[in-house]
Structure 1
């Protein structure tokens, strides 16, 4: 399939295979003013970049679905990935916006270039990185209605969404057939109380294009970094590790050994790739076991549909019944052919059995091997789903320890 990447008025057409391509595009403007966005919020650390954010627009389905990506970092860290907003043209001629990103001048201009009014803005989760920009984005398009996922909360203080500048027109309801977009988009809500507050995500299905929209529940880690991730960050991540990171990685002591000479990147491309492998593993595991030589751990999670190890460990395994019902509902009702998550690669060529396979850990062995929807002729022809559910035990050590601490502290359900 073809996907067009634009960060300016001119763009190149790039081939997209299972969400693997970094894409190509030209700058909207040489002035940094179009990308300026001062962000000091986000608990406990601000969500970077703190001052400038590049926006890239991709055309997923000609004239009807676009994705907009920006870089996202934790605080002052160089560990970054992408965050994605999806925009769909409705039959009314207006735009439906899923999970808004920072409304920089460049971002707003790229939306307005579509030449269609923004009618609906949707917050599909409680997560701060997606909630943070809903208010500012809605002010950039004041005629749009705002719709939010239920049971919104914040930590350490439970604050109403109005505190974040969000003034919703409605609260999303599971399987609601009365929404303004009901003839085109269906919705199913996952909600579960697993700790200090509920975890929730609303999945959407665009019927005409057979596209499943998710936020954080599933991801597809590409072999190379998303285009919007800056090369200077990748080069820094692929360089010598700090003493602290080296001490945490592989159990080596401060000032521990460097990787063998043959394992070091020999050129810029190698350093960029090493940087991306290290970034991706830190995002997935927080503290992966071996950042000195991460290729093996990266191979275990890249190129496949998966549930983030953090969410698997801390959310879905602690909400098996709710997770199973949600996955069953999605895979038995929606015959999708691709998934657009809010992070990492997209669109991902995947069918219902792929989605179910990624959540096999909440099903019995018999249930996991017998998906209720086979994904049509293509699913039967190509056989086994491209998904992974088990992660290297060494990489999971930090998350295992975190889970024990949270249980002992009473934060997680016992």
Structure 2
């Protein structure tokens, strides 16, 4: 979960978030100043403008295909991004972009590192680009529009026609406005029921203007002949609804998902820096707290494959469980959670378990109508070779929450996916303690709901 603050200048009437900064050649960053769209800001000065918080529940992602990346010079990766207290979304100054080709001549994936504030926890965030029959590009979940990122898009040699925000989640919403201004002729489409917490702010607050709303199974959308869509729009689970739009690219038989499922790869994504991995490999306070009473050595971390891997495993477990039972030796839990299609524990616990009927309807409609053979989520690994049975298996936990009268699939299919699901969604009980405690606390203060109709008591 990530809460964020966006900052604006005192002169602005509408916050356009994030703040995109260009360097003033007359001054350096440290000890000098930054020029923000004509304003020269001293680093010592504190911004006292209004702010907004956005609470999101999100998973994470990675690419496991051949890299076709171009240059990554420092000038091309600079992007000043302020999203603040208490969990700012880094990196704050530089974001390297990696481009890979998921489907030859048709679908490309662009990824950047996304860090949880000043912590050593990072993951990847993914933008998917599809080339339409018209020759234009359809952009799913934009990332930070660094000079490098925009150049990698332009190298595809086609105009950007559509920019799509498929979710309510802040980590994806934050870049839509700045990205769309790089391609002013593109149409912007957004998931319905956008909201922010604690104030329900309009899209203009995030720099998103003249956008159109994505509708469920909309046959009138300009891309309907090639890309179909289904909206999951849940009742409020507490502070707001969960909204996500799934897309199906018919020519390539590809399912696009934002945060609903993930596939944790064994190796860290290329876009995550070695510095982040090694920082996570250090035995800090979190490791000492979650060491099960074992002695924690304070040895320096040497840059090698073993320590980078340890850093990645610790990152994953902190993202999935918030606080796993043992960060000192993460190997066993990581092995159980990786290399399989799952619903992230945090999304399952805090969201999907509250509205199982809505989620089941959405999943059933996706698997009934779309014969996909690969899945591209917005975090962790992609593309994932997966079919409808694999997808259903990841959501088998819903059958434990819903009564038998709600089952709509054939018995053999239900049995198959349930058996697969128990293996694919295994969450070690000890590692779930922190997340379960958080859920109980949020329920006790009324931040999330305990039950909804249709669940087993």
TM-score range, shorter chain: 0.7 to 0.9
Aligned counterpart in structure 1 of residue 251 of structure 2, from 196, 208, 216: 208
Give the alignment partner of residue 246 of structure 1, picking from 284, 287, 307.
287
Distance 1:81 1:161 in 2: 26
Q: Is the 8 A contact 2:67 2:100 kept in 1?
A: no
Would the aligned equivalents of 2:267 and 2:312 in 1 still touch at CA under 8 Å?
yes
Which sections of structure 2, spanning at least 5 residues, go unmatched? 1-60, 451-457
Equivalence for 1:11 = none
CA RMSD of aligned residues (A): 2.7
Return closer, same or farther for 1:397/1:370 CA change in 2, 3 Å cut-off: farther
- In the alignment, the residues of structure 2 paired with residue 371 and residue 50 of structure 1 have an alpha-carbon distance, to the nearest angstrom, of 51
How far apart are 1:45 and its partner, in Å?
2.6
Secondary structure at the counterpart of residue 195 of structure 1: coil
- Among 283, 288, 295, the residue aligned to 1:257: 295
Would you say the 8 A contact 1:22–1:224 is kept in 2? Answer: no
Offset from partner CA, 1:119-157 (integer Å, 9 cap, x none):
000000010110000000000000000000000001121
Gaps of 5+ in 1: 1-17
Q: Would you say how many aligned residue pairs link Structure 1 and Structure 2? A: 383
Residues 25-62 of structure 1: per-residue CA shift (max 9 Å, x gap): 665143x1111000012564321000000001111111
Partner SS, residue 325 of structure 1: helix
- Give yes or no for the alignment of 1:55 onto 2:91: no
* 2:450 is the alignment partner of 1:407: no
> Are 1:302 and 2:343 an aligned pair?
no
SS of the aligned residue for 1:50 comes to: coil
Runs (4+) of structure 1 moved beyond 6 Å?
A: 264-267, 371-374
Q: Distance between the aligned counterparts of 1:175 and 1:298, measured in 2?
A: 37
Aligned 8 A contact 1:42 1:128 in 2: no
Secondary structure (helix, strand or coil) at the match of 1:315 reads helix
Q: TM-score, normalised by structure 1?
A: 0.87
Distance 2:302 2:72 in 1: 34
Alignment-derived partner of residue 224 in structure 1: 267
Q: CA deviation at 1:370?
A: 4.9
- Counterpart CA distance in 2 for 1:156 and 1:394 is 32
**Greater Cα offset, 348-357 or 386-395:** 386-395
The one of 158, 167, 170 equivalent to 1:128 is: 170
CA distance in structure 1 between the partners assigned to 2:292 and 2:176 by the alignment: 41
Structure 1, residues 188-226: CA drift from partner, whole Å, max 9, x if none?
Answer: 111111110111100000011000000000000000000
Q: Give the TM-score normalised by the residue count of structure 2.
A: 0.79
- Tell me the distance in 2 between the aligned counterparts of 1:369 and 1:265: 51
Q: Structure 2: how far apart are the matches of 1:123 and 1:94?
A: 17
How many Å apart are 1:258 and its aligned residue?
2.6
In structure 2, the residue matched to 1:146 is 188
Q: Is the 8 A contact 1:19 1:346 kept in 2?
A: yes
Query: Is the contact between residue 397 and residue 422 of structure 2 (CA under 8 Å) also seen in structure 1?
Result: no
Query: Are 2:218 and 1:176 aligned?
Result: yes
- Residues in 2 aligned to 1:90 and 1:371: alpha-carbon distance in whole angstroms: 39
Task: Give the superposition deviation at 1:78.
Answer: 2.0
Post-superposition offset of 1:250 = 3.7
- 2: CA distance, partners of 1:286 / 1:294: 13
